[in-house]
């Protein structure tokens, strides 16, 4: 498609949202061109930002935005209005845009979509949020809800999502509206198409399901635009489990290889109607472990995932890249997991890691109990256990087992002197010793 067609989009009848000026704390410039619009060229849809083609090269998160910009990213995703004002201002100062999440309560978490009073309270809250932020110059689009169809049996939730999307359009005709679902649910795609006509763009938290998006779009009959609102390493609900149901986490190198393939094949190839994507997660996040989704560690050191995004977004590699963790050997074996009896035996471990530029590496090892409470599972990481590891700063260590039965992980981290990190971990359990029968 010729660029001139895109730049003259407002002369056509294919713009999906109107151009009325609204009031608020920020006043949009009166240029006659919408901040964000959707254009159809007769074959496929395209996203426009101030009249120019805009493919989202984004990530979810609220930290390290300068680094996101420096690496070629152009947008961030937030899930709710917490810290929204400062995030929008920061994004604007860096020339980034924001996909703004309007949180919609979920039936799986106990919300009742037959409770009209609760529905109306949610509706009124969203109204206030939209009025507060609708004219911010960094705003790219609104996102109504996140995976709200998950185990939803009451189809009224679809009607309410559409009512909210309609409200957002009425309050802010200058930005499109999306919603997020899982791409494996063709029924949900079909229901959004049938019951949510106010949704302009369908977004997917896809991970390993990214390769099935095209198939399920066809099954669900969705022909309008879509984007990938979350993707990244294989998620913990997608990987193999240990016998005690602990998911086996890929090494940082395995994550790199996986995302590299997924992005190039299903996102970077720019399929028709695809508006781009948001990596999960640009920052430090505890979810199953403190390393699974984190593109940065607690001290702000970048993983190879940040390097990969720079390569994918710009075509140029980082001048200095993160180390690569190939495997973690325990007692000389590359095992995904192990079960031990509660004995005070000593074991040996070694991290096989290299640095692309040949930088010298430093190491740190730790043992953490597996999180079970919501507060630790998705929240504050459980602290490292003390006194179990001999020489925790070497590439090889000796470690003792915790005395208390339970599920644990041995983490190994390799650092260079350029604020980069690579990680791998080994899942293990300690089981109680059965008493000898007399």
pLDDT 10s digits, 70-81: 999 999 999 999
∠221-208-241 over CA atoms, to 5°? 135
Q: How far apart are CA 190 and CA 218, in angstroms?
A: 10
Neighbour tally for 378: CB within 10 Å: 12
Q: What local confidence, expressed as pLDDT, does residue 378 receive? A: 72
Domain boundaries, the chain: 3-231, 324-431
Q: What local confidence, expressed as pLDDT, does residue 434 receive? A: 65
Q: What local confidence, expressed as pLDDT, does residue 371 receive? A: 81
User: What is the third-level CATH fold of 3-231?
Assistant: TIM Barrel (3.20.20)
CATH number at 324-431: 2.60.40.10
8 Å CB contact between 185 and 149: yes
User: 380-406 burial by CB neighbour count: b if 16+ within 10 A, else e?
Assistant: ebbeeeeebbeebeebebebebbeeee
Q: How many helices and strands, by DSSP H and E, does the chain display?
A: 10, 19
- Name 221's Cβ contacts closer than 8 Å, sequence gap at least 6: 189, 190, 193
Partners of residue 204 on adjacent β-strands: 181, 228
Q: What local confidence, expressed as pLDDT, does residue 27 receive? A: 53
User: 278-296 burial by CB neighbour count: b if 16+ within 10 A, else e?
Assistant: bbbbbbbbbbbbbbbbbbb
Per-residue pLDDT of the chain (438 residues; tens, 9 = 90+): 433 333 333 333 334 433 333 334 455 445 579 999 999 999 999 999 999 999 999 999 999 999 999 999 999 999 999 999 999 999 999 999 999 999 999 999 999 999 999 999 999 999 999 999 999 999 999 999 999 999 899 999 999 999 999 999 999 999 999 999 999 989 999 999 999 999 999 999 999 999 999 999 999 999 999 999 999 999 999 999 999 999 999 999 999 999 999 999 999 999 999 999 999 999 999 999 999 999 999 999 999 999 999 999 999 999 999 999 999 999 999 999 999 998 768 999 999 999 999 999 999 999 999 987 665 667 778 899 999 998 899 999 999 999 999 999 999 999 999 999 999 999 999 998 765 555
Q: What local confidence, expressed as pLDDT, does residue 7 receive? A: 35
Q: How far apart are CA 96 and CA 76, in angstroms?
A: 7
List, as own/partner pairs, every contact residues 208-212 make where C-beta atoms lie below 8 angstroms and the sequence separation is at least 24, other chains included.
Answer: 208/234, 208/235, 208/238, 208/262, 209/182, 209/183, 209/184, 210/183, 210/262, 210/266, 210/267, 211/262, 211/265, 211/266, 212/183, 212/184
- Name 42's Cβ contacts closer than 8 Å, sequence gap at least 6: none
Of the candidates 412, 417, 395, the one whose C-alpha atom is nearest the C-alpha of residue 301 is: 417
Neighbour tally for 272: CB within 10 Å: 12
Q: How far apart are CA 283 and CA 68, in angstroms?
A: 10
Q: What local confidence, expressed as pLDDT, does residue 37 receive? A: 98
Partners of residue 323 on adjacent β-strands: none
């Amino acid at each position: 498609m010729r660029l001139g067609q895109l730049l003259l989009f407002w002369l056509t009848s294919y713009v999906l949202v109107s151009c009325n000026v609204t009031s608020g704390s920020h006043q949009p410039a009166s240029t006659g061109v919408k901040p964000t619009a959707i254009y159809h060229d007769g074959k496929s849809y395209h996203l426009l930002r101030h009249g120019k083609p805009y493919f989202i090269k984004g990530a979810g998160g609220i930290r390290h935005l300068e680094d996101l910009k420096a690496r070629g990213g152009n947008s961030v995703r937030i899930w709710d209005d917490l810290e929204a004002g400062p995030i929008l201002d920061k994004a604007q100062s860096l020339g980034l845009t924001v996909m703004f999440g309007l949180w919609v309560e979920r039936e799986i978490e106990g919300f009742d979509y037959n409770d009209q009073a609760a529905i109306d309270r949610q509706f009124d809250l969203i109204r206030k949020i939209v009025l507060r932020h609708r004219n911010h110059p960094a705003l790219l689009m609104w996102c109504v809800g996140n995976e709200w169809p998950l185990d939803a049996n009451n189809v009224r939730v679809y009607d309410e999502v559409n009512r909210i999307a309609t409200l957002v359009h009425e309050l802010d005709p200058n930005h499109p509206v999306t919603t997020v679902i899982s791409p494996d649910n063709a029924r949900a795609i079909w229901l959004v198409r049938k019951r949510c006509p106010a949704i302009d763009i369908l977004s997917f938290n896809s991970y390993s399901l990214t390769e099935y998006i095209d198939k399920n779009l066809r099954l669900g009959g969705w022909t309008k635009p879509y984007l990938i609102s979350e993707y990244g390493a294989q998620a913990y609900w997608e990987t193999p489990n240990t016998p005690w149901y602990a998911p086996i986490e890929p090494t940082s190198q395995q994550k790199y290889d996986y995302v590299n393939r997924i992005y190039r094949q299903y996102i970077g190839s720019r399929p028709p109607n695809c508006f781009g994507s948001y990596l999960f997660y640009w920052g430090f996040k505890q979810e199953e472990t403190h390393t699974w989704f984190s593109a940065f560690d607690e001290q702000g050191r970048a993983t190879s995932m940040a390097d990969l995004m720079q390569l994918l977004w710009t075509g140029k590699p980082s001048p200095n890249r993160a180390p690569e963790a190939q495997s973690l050997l325990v007692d000389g074996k590359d095992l995904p997991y192990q079960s031990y009896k509660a004995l005070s035996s000593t074991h040996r471990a070694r991290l096989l890691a290299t640095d692309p530029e040949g930088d010298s590496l430093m190491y740190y090892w730790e043992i953490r109990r597996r999180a079970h409470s919501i507060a630790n599972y998705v929240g504050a990481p459980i602290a490292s256990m003390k006194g179990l590891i001999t020489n925790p700063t070497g590439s090889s260590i000796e470690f003792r087992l915790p005395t208390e039965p339970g599920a644990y992980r041995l983490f190994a981290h390799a650092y260079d002197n350029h604020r980069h990190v690579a990680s791998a971990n080994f899942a293990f359990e300690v089981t109680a010793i059965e008493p000898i029968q007399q």
